[in-house]
């Protein structure tokens, strides 16, 4: 595989140095951003926003700005877990659908934006998630903001896993309610918090994720639901990374554990991961879904998704059911990688398609990222300040469409770079 070129990069700079200055005026913040941030983005080997010039598949073409040409890379940084973003059946269905319906809705769902396909997708998603009704949003992020804006109030108490996604924290900023984090996946800590909060008699919402996106681990959902039932809480579940990945038919963590779907009040998902497209949804009881549909401003005042996206979802659900080998192959690939990593001395685990490879704090994450890039491996790093300095990691996203050759290339490249950095 062709070598990619590298620009020199600045070490020890973090965008946090800029965004942390919240007490500064906008002019001061912008000044710092121009002095430090733009300088950094221009001078480091900037691996953000790499230009992909091919379908999102196991191998992608990336435009290398230094070489001024496209090079092939092996993709381990995409959430397109089942390969549906470039699936022949999905693409054909979308082409047919665009020929029939055109490309855009032209307005919000409550006015002109709902087509018969949108309604079919709502019904199909509801069956898929074993809920009565489903509301579709233009992204998972917006779905999160939407249900929170519609259902929460300043009088509630919101208890949540400390590793929750940025969209959840952004939603919380809308409220002055009591906000109580519990330690990641620690049900004893959750119960301590529940005991204290239950004394207030206020409505308690407990918010968790099916699969945690930085660690790839899952919550013990049956035990968690025992607690939320005991303390009479409302439950919101973000199953962005579980949908299409967990459960025999890809319905996510609820199917994986076989728990009662009615114990979840707000079941959120996204189309941007295993469905390989864009959009988000909330599945719930009919009253809750209709409440969100007519109360959530991010739903009411934003244009509906185009039918091409909706068709992608409809075909995607069919494929998750009929092509069970896709999900099986994904898990086979994950197991193979975990074994191969163990053989080279990398001890890691996962419950999903996300494999974190943790690094000691001394590791030069940026140098290593550049080396991976130069060797043709597309992999994402999770750096401080997104995580604490001692929890930096590379995040491997596995796809059903990866071949054995791709998987071996990943392990060999990691082995070689880690050996060079004396990390094995």
Ligand X SMILES: Cc1ncc(COP(=O)(O)O)c(C=O)c1O
Question: With CB under 6 A as the contact rule, which of the stretches 37-45, 125-133, 174-182, 235-243 interacts with ligand X?
Answer: 235-243
User: Measured from the CB atom, is 165 or 299 closer to ligand X?
Assistant: 165
Among 58, 80, 228, 270, indicate the residue that binds ligand X (CB under 6 A): 270
Exposed / middle / buried, residue 78 (Cβ in 10 Å: 0-12, 13-18, 19+): buried
State the Cα–Cα distance between residues 371 and 356, nearest whole angstrom. 18
* Interface map 314-353 toward ligand X (x if CB under 6 A): ----------------------------------------
Q: Are 292 and 146 within 8 A, CB to CB?
A: yes
Nearest approach in angstroms of CB 167 to ligand X is 5
DSSP 389: G
Nearest to 363 by CA among 390, 344, 337, 387: 390
User: Measured from the CB atom, is 233 or 305 closer to ligand X?
Assistant: 305
Asked if 272 interacts with ligand X (CB under 6 A), we say yes
Instruction: Name the CA radius of gyration of the chain, rounded.
Output: 22
User: Measured from the CB atom, is 64 or 209 closer to ligand X?
Assistant: 209
State the Cα–Cα distance between residues 128 and 122, nearest whole angstrom. 10
State the Cα–Cα distance between residues 319 and 329, nearest whole angstrom. 14
Exposed / middle / buried, residue 239 (Cβ in 10 Å: 0-12, 13-18, 19+): buried
Kindly state the number of chain residues that form the binding site for ligand X, as judged by CB under 6 A. Answer: 14
Among 80, 167, 228, 401, indicate the residue that binds ligand X (CB under 6 A): 167
**Coil, helix or strand at residue 203:** coil
> Which residues between 117 and 156 bind ligand X (CB under 6 A)?
139-141, 144
Asked if 209 interacts with ligand X (CB under 6 A), we say yes
Asked if 165 interacts with ligand X (CB under 6 A), we say yes
State the Cα–Cα distance between residues 270 and 79, nearest whole angstrom. 11
Nearest approach in angstroms of CB 52 to ligand X is 17
Asked if 240 interacts with ligand X (CB under 6 A), we say yes
Nearest approach in angstroms of CB 6 to ligand X is 28
Question: With CB under 6 A as the contact rule, which of the stretches 59-67, 103-111, 112-120, 236-244 interacts with ligand X?
Answer: 236-244
- Give the number of other CB atoms < 10 A from CB of residue 2: 13
Closest residue by beta carbon to ligand X: 140
Per CB under 6 A, residues contacting ligand X are 139-141, 144, 165, 167, 209, 213, 238, 240-241, 270, 272, 280
């Amino acid at each position: 595989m062709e070598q990619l070129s590298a620009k020199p990069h600045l070490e020890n700079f973090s965008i946090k140095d800029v965004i942390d200055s919240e007490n500064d005026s906008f002019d001061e913040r912008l000044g710092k951003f121009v002095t430090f941030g733009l300088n950094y983005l221009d001078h480091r080997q900037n691996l953000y926003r790499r230009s992909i010039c091919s379908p999102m598949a196991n191998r992608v073409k990336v435009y290398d700005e230094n070489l001024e040409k496209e090079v092939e890379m092996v993709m381990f940084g995409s959430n397109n877990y089942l390969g549906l973003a470039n699936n022949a059946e999905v693409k054909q269905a979308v082409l047919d659908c665009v020929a029939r319906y055109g490309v855009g809705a032209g307005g919000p769902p409550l006015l002109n934006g709902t087509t018969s396909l949108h309604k079919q997708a709502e019904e199909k998603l509801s069956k898929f998630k074993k809920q009565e009704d489903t509301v579709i949003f233009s992204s998972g992020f917006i779905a999160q903001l939407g249900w929170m804006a519609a259902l929460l109030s300043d009088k509630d108490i919101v208890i949540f896993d400390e590793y929750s996604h940025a969209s959840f924290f952004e939603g919380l900023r809308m409220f002055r309610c009591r906000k109580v984090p519990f330690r990641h996946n620690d049900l004893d800590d959750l119960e301590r918090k529940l005991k204290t909060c239950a004394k207030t008699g206020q409505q308690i919402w407990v918010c968790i994720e099916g699969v945690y996106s930085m660690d790839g681990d899952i919550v013990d959902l049956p035990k968690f639901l025992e607690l939320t039932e005991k303390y009479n809480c409302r439950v919101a579940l973000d199953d962005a990374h579980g949908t299409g990945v967990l459960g025999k038919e890809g319905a996510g963590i609820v199917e994986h554990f076989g728990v009662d779907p009615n114990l979840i009040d707000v079941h959120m998902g996204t189309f941007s991961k295993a469905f390989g497209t864009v959009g988000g949804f909330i599945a719930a009881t009919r009253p809750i879904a209709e409440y969100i549909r007519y109360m959530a401003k991010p739903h009411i005042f934003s244009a509906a998704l185009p039918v091409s996206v909706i068709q992608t979802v409809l075909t995607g659900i069919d494929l998750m059911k009929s092509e069970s080998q896709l999900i099986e192959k994904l898990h086979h690939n994950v197991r193979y990688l975990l074994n191969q990593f163990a053989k080279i001395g990398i001890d890691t685990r996962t419950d999903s398609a996300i494999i974190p490879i943790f690094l000691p704090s001394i590791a030069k994450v940026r140098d290593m990222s550049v080396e991976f890039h130069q060797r043709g491996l597309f992999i994402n790093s999770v750096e401080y300040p997104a995580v604490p300095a001692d929890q930096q990691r590379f995040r491997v996203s596995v796809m059903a469409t990866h071949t054995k050759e791709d998987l071996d290339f990943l392990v060999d490249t990691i082995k070689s770079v880690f050996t060079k950095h004396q990390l094995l």
